[in-house]
Amino acid sequence: MPRLPASYAVWMGHIPTPAEAQAKYAVDEVRHVDELAAVLAELAAPCLHLTPLLFPNPCHACSGLPMPPVMFEGIENFTLETQALYPVLSECRVFKSPLELRIMRYACRAASEAHVEVMRAVQPGVWEFQGESLYLHTLYSRGGCRGAHYTPIFASGPNAAILHYGHAGAPNSRQMRAGELLLVDAGAEYYRYAADITCTFPTTGSFTPDQALVYNAVLAANRGVIAAMKPGVRWPDMQLLAERTILSALLAGGLLRGEVEAMVEARLGAVFMPHGLGHFLGLDTHDVGGYLPGHPERPAAAGLARLRTARVLEEGMVITVEPGCYFSRALLEPAFGDEQLGRFLVEERVRQFMDFGGVRIEDDVVVTADGAESMCDVPRSIEEVEAVMAGAPWPPPA
């Protein structure tokens, strides 16, 4: 820990002693940074293992961004070993301990309650940012979470097709209208652990037939994947399962023609769901460990290449399950004219959905010994969503 001058207390409050810090963080030993070189020299170890992963970090292994080196005075006197620790610590973070799961369940509960509160308050005329504001207020004042771990996405109508809507350049600034869906992708941060939940629901409180068609397609994918998850299952297979489920529903709804397996083969799934099915969740929203040595490499196929991991599921992993179905001009217009993709599209019917936006349904799921369990608790079926929006209690009375 840094050695702070006494005057620091005037500005920042009580300066903890090393003993206080040691008790608080339950670690073996705490020293001031200016002692580090001397203390480490005494140990006379052949080398010093260092990794930037010791500090909170975005998902550098997945993003390929460089990580800043660890520094302290006197570090040049040590033999540094900077490669060994990264994969080991990443692997540790892939598997959550019971205590970690307890924190993550709490974060999911706090986020779930905030989602329900938003569902109750939304109606045509409300601005997207007012939904975001109510979400954050509920999360903080009731759940004690000062942050949401990432910028909440409150995407109404066509905006729901913009995957990272809500950023500073598109800051949830649209007024909701009747007849639209609102896609809310909003998480929580509690003791640095993340929740990451998406709900999609109609601004008016009841689904139109077209909204129900797309919503149920995505819900079936979400529920189907969670039901199929267990140790030994390959994650890319879950993405393909989600695609098949959604494409089958669009076929039944008259938006597509042809054979579902041929669509999957042609990667039509990536036109409607251009992102990965889900990612590890933990200290980072997009947590580390997705592509470590000794595990499957990133797939090359469209859509699958977006996956943040291609691993085989194991007990204790926490991963999001977030299938989606979007109507994105930037993807559909080229697809209409594409030889491989265009033949599956019933263009006239699909064009009716061009301002539809999209649906995403995201759960935070822990892999158990023989299956998987969602840690989220939000209305999911159309009946549940419509009931809560009409004022019914959640969770429903036993």
Residue ranges binding a copy of itself (CB under 8 A)? 6-7, 9-13, 129-130, 132-134, 136-137, 140-141, 144, 146, 159, 162-165, 167, 169-171, 274, 328, 330-331
- Distance between CA 212 and CA 34 in Å, rounded? 62
72 is written with which tokens? 């302290």
The dihedrals phi and psi of 319, each to the nearest 5 degrees, come to -140, 145
12 or 43: CB nearest a copy of itself: 12
**Which range binds Mn ion by CB under 5 A, 60-68, 120-128, 138-146, 193-201?**
193-201
Question: Measured in Å, how far apart are the chain's first and last C-alpha atoms?
Answer: 50
136 or 195: CB nearest a copy of itself: 136
| Closest separation in Å from C-beta 8 to a copy of itself | 9
196 touching Mn ion, by CB under 5 A: yes
Q: Which long-range contacts (CB under 8 A, 24 or more apart) does 34-40 make?
A: 34/3, 34/73, 36/72, 36/73, 36/74, 37/72, 37/73, 37/74, 37/75, 37/77, 38/74, 40/78
123 is written with which tokens? 């109606």
Query: Across the strands, what pairs with 280?
Result: 319
320 or 328: CB nearest Mn ion: 320
| Closest separation in Å from C-beta 308 to a copy of itself | 14
229 in helix, strand or coil?
coil
Side chain identity at 369, as an amino acid letter?
A
| Closest separation in Å from C-beta 119 to a copy of itself | 16
The dihedrals phi and psi of 370, each to the nearest 5 degrees, come to -135, 20
196 or 287: CB nearest Mn ion: 196
159 or 320: CB nearest Mn ion: 320
| Closest separation in Å from C-beta 305 to a copy of itself | 12
Rg of the chain's alpha carbons, rounded to an integer?
24
24 or 234: CB nearest a copy of itself: 24
Choose the contact partner of 136 out of a copy of itself, Mn ion, none; CB within 5 to 8 A by kind: a copy of itself
Choose the contact partner of 196 out of Mn ion, a copy of itself, none; CB within 5 to 8 A by kind: Mn ion
| Closest separation in Å from C-beta 130 to a copy of itself | 5
| Closest separation in Å from C-beta 140 to a copy of itself | 4
Task: Identify whether the C-beta of residue 287 lies closer than 8 Å to the C-beta of residue 65.
Answer: no
Burial environment of residue 386 by CB neighbours within 10 A (0 to 12, 13 to 18, 19 or more): middle
Q: Which of 320, 324, 358, 379 binds Mn ion (CB under 5 A)?
A: 320
The footprint of Mn ion (CB under 5 A) covers: 196, 320
